[in-house]
Chain A
Amino acid sequence: MLRIRNLKCFYGRIQAVKGVSLSVEAGEMVTLIGANGSGKSTLLQSICGLMNGWQGDIRFEDRSLKGLDPPRIVRRGISLVPEGRQIFPPLSVRDNLDLGAYTLHRQGRKQEVRETLERVLTLFPVLRERARQAAGTLSGGEQQMLAIGRALMARPRLLLLDEPSMGLAPKLVSRILGTLVTLREEGLTILLVEQNARAALQVADRGYVFETGQVVLQGSAGELLEDEDVKRAYLGRDYGDFYDGKA
């Protein structure tokens, strides 16, 4: 469904992504894990058209995304839940959701907007209760639900999430990731960028491990969870064990 070949991204002279290739098949949940600054977010921004001047090839449903602006990419069926949620705090929860459906509204697809809104509010009942409240008054977890809801309002076929667990209590993290599992079961394809590697690998089908702008490892989520390097670097197993082994 999504096929990236030899992607290179630059910030001025600094290369943030150094020739990455990856793919996401329809109906899959794939996760990109890796440390801060390893180029995961840059990759997502390139897919969404928020990052100009990347090289390589990004194809969605066999059509290139090169040179498309964000509104066109949203219309192609890709929605982003941005890092740090990026909701619109002074606007009401309802307005935030309606903004997610901007492209649908523009095409006059009112009935679809109503249906999608109903679906989102069923998925996150708390948003229905707070529909008229300013989005800035929501708690962190609720804001994350709103950000996901807003992305769903565009009726994407591929949902990209940039660190949805950031700053959330463990209980909320599993609530949010549980929602993603539900969405995938309904047929949505998901690409999840996470620093919380363990949580992400527990819900995903496959994973890619990023390091300084490159994919250093890939495999099924189960394999990665068992991989010694991944355990050492990302799953927080005691470093001491390895030093002992090497010595």
Chain B
Amino acid sequence: MVRPSLHNLVPYAFFVVLVGSAGLWVDNPYYFQILSMIGIHALLALALNLLMGYAGQISLGHAAFYGIGAYASALLSARYGLSPWLALPCAMLAAGLVALVVGYPTLKLSGYYLGMGTLGIGMIVFIVFREWSSVTGGASGFVGIPPLGLGGRALLDVRSYYFLVWAVVLLALCGSQRLIRSRVGRALRSIHDSEAAARAVGIPTSRLKLQVFVLSAVMSAVAGFLYAHMVGFISPDTFSFIVSVKLVTMVVIGGMASIWGALLGAALLTLLPEVLHAFAEFEMVVYGLILMTVMIFLPQGLTRGILDIYALRRRQSERAARPAD
């Protein structure tokens, strides 16, 4: 089913050119940090979109896996002197194992109950980060996370870090798209549509849900790793309930079941607060208003909404071009 036609390659080409040119033009560490942050959020949104947009399983606790990735990598590299590149697979494994253990009972739930269950996981992990001070540094955070270097030589500067983050995002994009178009992706969409019918057809729904949950957690852990070594400092608040909700918002605003939508949602929700600094104390009000407007007028999310508007415009202009008789 995976046919790399020209039609599919255009968005990728556009993406690479955009990321590439931004990386070469921008010359300000602050902007690089924001652009890298968009990439990290995009990775998280992609991960959550596989679970939510495609398999139809909501998670209100995804910041937990983001946090587990960050803390695991921080601990292993800062406290035990492990190379961050070796800490990464350990962090992924840790998040994957936690997802496996908590996902097994939780994914038996559906709808609101699954939302509540995952919310609980997020809360518990957050409390562990905050209260287990001897290991995580508690509420004041974990300092002294080593930056990343390549080949044991030069440390990555902000520009290289930006390229590293976005290379990972590109990888995740291609991987997600391949997965979605595969037999497994089709089965995930069937679960989203009707789990009962999928079971009747002989699709192992429980196992597939657990597998996509673990995959999603592992991708989130990679985002946590990238965040921890970029900023050099982590604290529990970065992985709180609010962050989980923000991730869900990114997926919904961008457009569920659309990998480009996840990217768009992540970019929008990361940039908005930066742009809205001008509104000072009204920042959150304007932020909320923008999100409400999008949801009211484009309930399918930005990608679907923009495509629909585009199709409508084209039909209108075609009609206008036709000679009236």
The answer to whether B203 touches A99 (Cβ under 8 A) is yes
A163 is an interface residue with CB less than 8 A from chain B: no
The reply to whether B201 and A150 contact each other, CB–CB distance below 8 Å, is: yes
One of A68-76, A119-127, A180-188, A193-201 at the interface: A68-76
Residues of B within 8 A of A75 (CB): 202
Q: Which of B171-217 contact A (CB under 8 A)?
A: 183, 186-187, 189-190, 193-194, 196-204
Q: List residues of chain A with CB within 8 A of the CB of B203.
A: 71, 99, 102
A98 proximity list for chain B (CB < 8 A):
183, 186
Task: Tell me, rounded to whole Å, the shortest Cβ–Cβ distance linking B320 to chain A.
Answer: 29
**Chain B CB within 8 A of A90 CB:** yes
A residues less than 8 Å from B200 (CB atoms)? 48, 50, 70, 80, 82, 86
Q: In chain B, what residue has the closest Cβ to A72? A: B202
A112 at the interface (CB under 8 A from B): no
In the assembled complex, A89 has its CB within 8 A of some CB on chain B: yes
In the bound complex, how far is the Cα of B199 from the Cα of A83, in angstroms? 13
- A73:B199 contact, CB within 8 angstroms: no
* Pair B190/A50 contact, Cβ less than 8 Å: no
| Contact pattern, A 128-160, Cβ under 8 Å of B = 1, otherwise 0 | 000000000000000000000011001000000
The answer to whether A88 and B194 have CB atoms under 8 Å apart is yes
The minimal Cβ–Cβ distance linking B102 to chain A, given in whole angstroms, is 22
Bound Cα distance from A151 to B187, whole angstroms:
15
Asked if residues A102 and B202 are in contact (CB atoms below 8 Å), the reply is yes
- Minimum CB–CB distance for B146 against chain A, Å: 43
Question: Measured between alpha carbons, how far is A127 from B183 in the docked complex, in Å?
Answer: 20
In A72-103, the 8 Å CB interface with B consists of 73-75, 79-80, 82, 86-91, 95, 98-100, 102-103
| Residues 186-222 of A at the B interface (beta carbon under 8 Å) | none
Complex interface: chain A residues within 8 A of B183 (CB) = 98, 102, 105-106
Q: How distant is the Cα of A99 from the Cα of B190 in the complex, in angstroms?
A: 8
Supposing A86-B196, A88-B197, A105-B183 touch, asked if A70 and B190 sit within 8 A by C-beta, the answer is no
Residue in A closest to B199 when the chains form the complex, CB atoms: A70
Find out whether the CB atom of A99 lies under 8 angstroms from the CB atom of B204: no
Contact A91 B202, beta carbon cutoff 8 Å: no
Complex interface: chain A residues within 8 A of B187 (CB): 99, 102
Once the chains bind, are B202 and A90 in contact (CB under 8 Å)? no
| A88-B194, A89-B193, A90-B193 as given contacts; A74 in contact with B201, CB under 8 Å | yes
- Which residue on chain B has the smallest CB distance to residue A80? B200
Chain A, residue nearest B186 (CB): A95
Contact of A91 with B186 in the complex, beta carbons under 8 Å: yes
**Docked pose: A98 CA to B197 CA in angstroms:** 14
Which B residues lie within 8 Å of A154 (CB)? Answer: 201-202
Given the complex, which residues of A lie within 8 Å of B189, measured CB to CB? 88, 90-91, 95
Complex CA gap A80/B197 in Å reads 10
Given contacts A91-B190, A98-B186, A106-B183, contact A82 B197 (CB under 8 A): yes
Whether A71 pairs with B186 at a CB distance below 8 angstroms is: no
Contact (Cβ within 8 A) A69 B204: yes
Residues of A within 8 A of B186 (CB): 91, 95, 98-99
Q: Please tell me if the beta carbons of B199 and A99 are within 8 angstroms of each other in the complex.
A: no
Q: Nearest chain A CB to B52's CB is how many angstroms away?
A: 16
Q: Which residues of B contact A91 (CB under 8 A)?
A: 186, 189-190, 193
Q: How far is the CB of A49 from chain B (nearest CB, A)?
A: 9
8 Å CB contact of A103 from B193, B194, B199, B202: B202
| B193 pairs with A102, CB closer than 8 A | no
A87-B197, A98-B183 known; A71+B204 contact, CB < 8 A: yes
How long is the Cα–Cα vector from A70 to B196 in the complex, in angstroms?
A: 11
Q: Is the CB–CB distance between A71 and B197 below 8 Å?
A: no
Is B193's CB under 8 angstroms from A88's CB? yes
- In Å, the complex CA distance between A246 and B193 comes to 53
Minimal beta-carbon separation of A156 from chain B (angstroms): 10
Query: Which residue of B is nearest A89, CB measured?
Result: B193
Inter-chain contacts of A105 with B (CB < 8 A): 183
In the complex, what distance in Å separates the CA atom of A103 from the CA atom of B200?
12
Q: How far is the CB of B82 from chain A (nearest CB, A)?
A: 38
**Apart from A88-B197, A90-B193, A91-B189, what 12 extra A-B contacts exist at CB < 8 Å?**
A48-B200, A69-B204, A71-B203, A73-B202, A82-B196, A88-B189, A88-B193, A91-B193, A98-B183, A99-B198, A100-B201, A102-B202
User: Which 5 pairs between the two chains have the least Cβ-Cβ distance?
Assistant: A74-B202, A86-B197, A88-B193, A71-B204, A105-B183
- Supply 24 A–B pairs (Cβ within 8 Å), ascending by A: A48-B200, A50-B199, A69-B204, A71-B202, A71-B203, A71-B204, A75-B202, A80-B200, A86-B194, A86-B196, A86-B197, A87-B197, A88-B189, A88-B190, A88-B193, A88-B194, A88-B198, A91-B193, A95-B186, A98-B183, A99-B186, A105-B183, A106-B183, A151-B201
